[in-house]
Chain A
Amino acid sequence: MLRPRIIPCLLVHKKGLVKTIQFSDPKYVGDPLNAVKIFNEKEVDELMVLDIDATIDMREPNFKLIENLASECRMPLCFGGGVRTVDQAIRMVNLGAEKVALSSSALNDMDLLDQIGKAIGVQSVVLVLDVKKRNKLFGSSVYEVFTHRGKKKHSKDLDVVLKQLHDHAIGELVVNDISNDGLMQGFDLDLASFVHERIEVPFTFLGGAGSYTDLNKLIDRFKIIGAAAGSIFVFKGKYKAVLINYPGKEEKSQIITT
């Protein structure tokens, strides 16, 4: 049977790995290739690496980094950051990335997803949506979509973007919850549920996990899902000492109980 995936998400900023809190205050946590080597030994399900500078600096994807990561990775690699064209996506796949993640460029032109899918196969096209919850008057709330490291608000809200997706082919949707990023207080299961009931493709949820119990809650509720996290895989203990870690076989069987 297919199993849910437990996915470390690493952020690249100024050539190092960082962990943010609500997309701000990047804290240096180490070297990307070194982290990959450790995650290899831990036999992680899959790895997601996002270059959080590329779009803001209007740079193309960091192909050298992608090549180094992909050839080192003995697990599947999803890479995002700066992807704007079909040719860039082809080059990334040829360098060994299994999945190409897009965000701002695809939000500006959804047809780009289809064009890239045609070239590299739909299964390798990942859309990442950075989402923030905004409470409205009288208790109701709305989920807004952001780009440029949470600085730029997209013209359409999450429900509209998810509706748009029905006309485009992607292999996976990653929703990154800005409001809970780095807080380690648990996933917003309402947001996960909001997305889950509106899409038909594999879904990965990121932002807020503070313990293996949080991963368990997400997986228990949605069964086959990608449970992604940053902090819990790079920090250890109350004082958040930097330590790359990942659940072993025994711990995994406690996270995946379904």
Chain B
Amino acid sequence: MISIVDYGSGNIRAIGNIYDRAKIEYNVVSTATELSKAKKIILPGVGAFDETIEKLNSSGLKAILDKKVLEEMTPILGICVGMQIMANSSDEGVQNGLGWIPGKVKLFDTSILQKPKIPHLGWNTVDIIKDTGLLRSIDSEQGFYFIHSYYYEVENESDILTKTFYGDNFTSSINRDNIYGTQFHPEKSHSNGMKVLINFAEL
């Protein structure tokens, strides 16, 4: 059973609808007891970094999440800001992140040659750096939908799952052991995104 964490952030129903269509069982969890039973976890997230991490802290779910992810090695997929809060910190705020995968969330540099506009908005391609089941049979040219001004700069190259070009190459999804995160929105990326969510269910 996949558990989608409801801590007041992110598009839970859009994710749930995709699993409904794929006839994959899931539940939406908002208490520590429910979360402790999760076999797989999806951590959505929309909004600003500090607001999101504050919501998670006040939800009372942080301790059990740490235990599930770091001790029980339960697979987890963070989406957008739900991924960014896995970092140590962010340029967008002052709060500490979960610190699961070493790195810092940074603002796009608009001073470089291509002068990318902020936010990075729309459909972009991905270059698969590491072969894991999460991106099995996706169309990397079709790509995914992005909407963000900040990106996760990981400390270790080995944690990079995909890169995407926007003015420069940035890390557009990450993975270490049982922990996965995508900057793009699989729940809003049509058939390609649906594949990612199904792949996660089948990991």
Knowing A2-B123, A43-B191 touch, does A96 contact B118 (C-beta < 8 A)? no
The complex places the Cα of A138 from the Cα of B169 at a distance, in Å, of 50
1/0 per residue, CB under 8 A from A, across B104-143: the answer is: 0000000000000111111111000000000000000001
- The reply to whether the CB of B148 lies closer than 8 angstroms to some CB of chain A is yes
Decide if B51 touches A119 in the complex (CB within 8 Å): yes
- The reply to whether the CB of B11 lies closer than 8 angstroms to some CB of chain A is yes
1/0 per residue, CB under 8 A from A, across B80-123: the answer is: 01000000000010000000000000000000000001111111
In-complex Cβ contact of B47 among A67, A71, A119 (8 A): A119
Closest chain A residue, CB of each to CB of B147: A123
- The reply to whether the CB of B14 lies closer than 8 angstroms to some CB of chain A is yes
Give the chain A neighbours of B147 by CB distance below 8 A: 76, 98-99, 123-124, 171
Question: Which of A2, A74, A172, A201 has its CB near the most chain B CB atoms (within 10 A)?
Answer: A2
The complex places the Cα of A98 from the Cα of B51 at a distance, in Å, of 16
The complex places the Cα of A67 from the Cα of B47 at a distance, in Å, of 17
Closest chain A residue, CB of each to CB of B21: A74
Give the chain B neighbours of A162 by CB distance below 8 A: none
Closest chain B residue, CB of each to CB of A74: B190
The complex places the Cα of A93 from the Cα of B52 at a distance, in Å, of 12
Give the chain B neighbours of A124 by CB distance below 8 A: 46-47, 147
Closest chain B residue, CB of each to CB of A172: B121
- The reply to whether the CB of B67 lies closer than 8 angstroms to some CB of chain A is no
Closest chain B residue, CB of each to CB of A77: B188
- The reply to whether the CB of A72 lies closer than 8 angstroms to some CB of chain B is yes
The complex places the Cα of A70 from the Cα of B188 at a distance, in Å, of 10
Decide if A120 touches B13 in the complex (CB within 8 Å): no
Give the chain B neighbours of A1 by CB distance below 8 A: 124-125, 165
Closest chain B residue, CB of each to CB of A78: B147
Minimum CB–CB distance from A70 to chain B (whole Å) comes to: 7
- The reply to whether the CB of A258 lies closer than 8 angstroms to some CB of chain B is no
- The reply to whether the CB of B35 lies closer than 8 angstroms to some CB of chain A is no
- The reply to whether the CB of B32 lies closer than 8 angstroms to some CB of chain A is no
- The reply to whether the CB of A33 lies closer than 8 angstroms to some CB of chain B is no
- The reply to whether the CB of A217 lies closer than 8 angstroms to some CB of chain B is no
Give the chain B neighbours of A93 by CB distance below 8 A: 46-47
Give the chain A neighbours of B4 by CB distance below 8 A: none
Decide if A72 touches B124 in the complex (CB within 8 Å): no
In-complex Cβ contact of A71 among B14, B81, B120, B125 (8 A): B14
Decide if B48 touches A119 in the complex (CB within 8 Å): yes
1/0 per residue, CB under 8 A from B, across A177-202: the answer is: 00000000000000000000000111
The complex places the Cα of A71 from the Cα of B118 at a distance, in Å, of 27
Give the chain B neighbours of A122 by CB distance below 8 A: 118-119, 149
Q: Quick one: which of B128-183 are within 8 Å of A by CB?
A: 143, 145-149, 165-166
- The reply to whether the CB of B18 lies closer than 8 angstroms to some CB of chain A is yes
- The reply to whether the CB of B68 lies closer than 8 angstroms to some CB of chain A is no
Give the chain A neighbours of B165 by CB distance below 8 A: 1-2
- The reply to whether the CB of A65 lies closer than 8 angstroms to some CB of chain B is no
Decide if B48 touches A73 in the complex (CB within 8 Å): no
In-complex Cβ contact of A75 among B18, B118, B188 (8 A): B188
Give the chain A neighbours of B40 by CB distance below 8 A: none
Decide if A74 touches B122 in the complex (CB within 8 Å): no
Minimum CB–CB distance from B50 to chain A (whole Å) comes to: 9
Q: Which residues of B contact A (CB under 8 A)?
A: 8-9, 11-14, 17-18, 46-48, 51, 81, 92, 117-125, 143, 145-149, 165-166, 185, 187-188, 190-191, 193-194
Task: Give me the 9 closest cross-chain CB pairs, A-B, nearest first.
Answer: A123-B119, A71-B13, A96-B11, A43-B190, A2-B124, A202-B121, A121-B48, A76-B188, A5-B122
Q: List 15 A-B contacts (CB under 8 A).
A: A2-B165, A2-B166, A70-B14, A73-B188, A74-B187, A75-B145, A76-B147, A76-B185, A76-B188, A98-B188, A121-B48, A121-B81, A121-B92, A121-B148, A123-B147
Q: Which residues of A contact B (CB under 8 A)?
A: 1-5, 40, 43, 45-46, 67, 70-76, 93-94, 96, 98-99, 118-124, 171-172, 200-202, 224, 226
